[in-house]
Amino acid sequence: MKAVLLDCDSLGPQDLDLSALLALPVDWTIYPDTSSREVAERIVDADIVLTNKAPITALSLSQASRLKMISIMATGTNAVDLQAAAEHNVAVSNAVKYGTGSVVQHVWAMILALTTKLADYQRAAVDGTWQDSSLFCLLGFPVEELQGKVLGIVGAGELGRGVAKVAHAFGLEVIYAALPGRQYNDQQRVDFDAFLGRADIVSLHCPLTAETTNLIDTAELALMKSSAILINSARGGIVNEAALAQALLNGTLAGAGVDVLTNEPPREGNPLLDRAIPNLIVTPHCAWVARQSRQRLVEQTVENLRAFLQGEPLPRAVL
């Protein structure tokens, strides 16, 4: 069987052990990266395709007559046209729960940096402000304790629950959003508009779907407290980035931490990549990249492929 890995460099392979993956009984072709224009040509003769973010569309699937399996080296499945894969009888698997520790600590790093004004105080310590002060400490940037505040989480899966677990150690109350148009068995859910009004911190942990695109827009931002902060480590399209930039510039939102943008990398620019925006942290989709998390991702992919090659049910089947 021929197997193709489309975007190996996105895994940061230099510090990973790929031996179990490469030892599988397939004929490997491994590409460092693959653009959307190159996908169809590179998978045309493949039986198995691995992708992290390289898009596999209906058109490229229609030309890959030998293709039997796609293993997504991520949890999100939006890189693959699942309907087209089903129509072509292509099995699809993904990876789950591999990056929880890495993402949770990144989310809390952003929350703590924003609430303690860490960047502002670090800058003041080295730019001469502290040296010129008559006091032993600086008080120029207001710090808020987390204890007693409300953390609102959108998405009560692995990552949302992981963030909530840490919140309890800081003495925060945790609430979960009831998204419009959905039914929940969980009685802890709070109506979305009321949720936005109650939360001091909103952290997003839901997938990007048609229903969650621009879930946080101008109207939703206006419902939030002016003292609140927004954290997005999920997908860029969940937040209207122009609306978020404006809210921060206007001071109607106190701060935001963003690890994801609508288009990545943002070669055409992005409203949030503006140094004039206050109290904003933007990181380059790196919340998941701890070495341990990436190694677990490889190990899960090996399990998915091994099951497929042995004719067993896929342990993490999407299709």
Catalytic site residues? 235, 264, 285
Return the structure tokens found at 44. Answer: 């045309």
Return the structure tokens found at 81. Answer: 């046209």
Q: Is there a contact between 152 and 139 (Cβ–Cβ < 8 Å)?
A: no
First to last CA, the chain: 20
Beta strands in 75-149 (DSSP E): 91-93
Please name which of 21, 5, 14 lies closest in space to residue 309, comparing C-alpha atoms: 21
Which amino acid makes up residue 123? R
- HSE (side-chain half, CA atoms, 13 Å) at 240: 13
Q: Is there a contact between 258 and 232 (Cβ–Cβ < 8 Å)?
A: yes
The CB density around residue 274, as the number of other CB atoms within 10 Å, is: 13
Q: Is there a contact between 153 and 174 (Cβ–Cβ < 8 Å)?
A: yes
Distance (Å, whole) CA 227 – CA 72: 39
Return the structure tokens found at 19. Answer: 């031996």
Return the structure tokens found at 100. Answer: 């929880």
